[in-house]
Amino acid sequence: MGKIIAIVNQKGGVGKTTSCINLAASMTLLEQKTLLIDLDPQANATTGSLFQKEPGANIAQVLLDEIPIQESLLVTPAGYSLIPGTTDLTQTEVQLLQKEQREYTLKKKLAVLSNLYDYILLDCPPSLNILTVNALVAANSVIIPVQCEYFALEGLSNLINTLQSLRATVNPHLQIHGILRTLFDGRNSLAKQVSEQLLMHFKDKIYSTLIPRNIRLAEAPSHGQPALLYDPHSNGSQAYLSLAKEILHRDGCPIPSIHAPSDIPSTTFLKKRSPSDIPSTTFLKKRSQHDKSPSIEQVL
């Protein structure tokens, strides 16, 4: 059975969606069949993977029983599968609140997919709403991205209290897989101090991998690509690849040998996947890294 990991933090702007996209691409490179589900009404994980605002079938339709979950699967240019998000999730949240056992909706839907993937990553909204609760009920574990700043510590404490409450009621198996320090700038003394406090309080729950502030990580979503496709040479790309290896190591999984990113051109960096390897018949055209960035009108 595949591992289901929710990437969650009720505080916005901590690199949650960036981590989902780039971790999915890194896991794929490490020969893990990976599915990313975009549960955020902003749908940034979708546009950051495909550069399509509304790609068609989406997770909102799945949650409302309008289509089977298998019909919502897409395969991204980076090789991982995706169930797209949509702005309709805001309305979906309201409709879910009217259902019985609403917190188990996603868990029931994922039952038919859990054996088809090694990892299923859930990108959660930046709030503890019913969509996030669904993710936490369905997940085996959580990854908590934390920016190394003062207010992040207070938010982390509140989130851990919420996880403990859910563990005591609806998901007794929910564990913290790890806490990920993101947007780290080693030149900032406050960032160093917060990082040290996190290490002191949470010890082995902190991933040794630090995700740096990196311009390539910021640019890649405007091209509808993970940083591993956009610029595999960048520090950000290599940091997420290191994180993926660390996760596999914690899970006791073998880590396949791959070439260093600096040895491989970005256009051939990710291994091509056969349609038989991934439960989806829909493949999407890969954007060239030389394509021009879209205009504001195109994005809107």
Mean pLDDT over residues 270-277, rounded?
A: 40
Asked: is 3-299 a CATH 3.40.50.300 domain? The reply is yes
The answer for residues whose C-beta is within 8 angstroms of residue 209's C-beta and 6 or more apart is 180, 239, 242, 243, 246
Phi, psi at 290, each rounded to 5°: -95, -5
CA 115/CA 134 separation, integer angstroms: 19
Q: In the numeric block, which tokens belong to residue 187? A: 């030149």
**What's the DSSP call for residue 279?**
T
Beta pairing, strands 74-75 & 81-83: antiparallel
Please indicate whether residue 31 or residue 257 has the higher confidence score (pLDDT). 31
Q: What's the pLDDT band for 268 if we cut at 50, 70, 90?
A: very low
Query: Which segments of the chain does DSSP mark as H helices, in order?
Result: 16-29, 44-50, 59-63, 89-96, 105-110, 130-138, 150-169, 189-202, 215-219, 227-230, 235-250, 296-299
Q: What's the pLDDT band for 88 if we cut at 50, 70, 90?
A: very high
pLDDT digits (tens, 9 = 90+) for 2-61: 899 999 998 888 889 999 999 999 999 999 999 999 999 999 999 999 866 666 899 999
Percent of the chain with pLDDT over 70: 84
The pLDDT of residue 289? 39
pLDDT digits (tens, 9 = 90+) for 218-227: 999 999 999 9
Q: In the numeric block, which tokens belong to residue 86? A: 């949509």
Residue labelled with tokens 């914690």? 250
CA 182/CA 195 separation, integer angstroms: 10
Q: In the numeric block, which tokens belong to residue 260? A: 């260093």
The pLDDT of residue 1? 76
Q: Is 11 exposed, middle or buried (0-12, 13-18, 19+ CB in 10 A)?
A: buried
| Helix/strand number for the chain, H first, E second | 12, 8
Q: In the numeric block, which tokens belong to residue 242? A: 């290191």
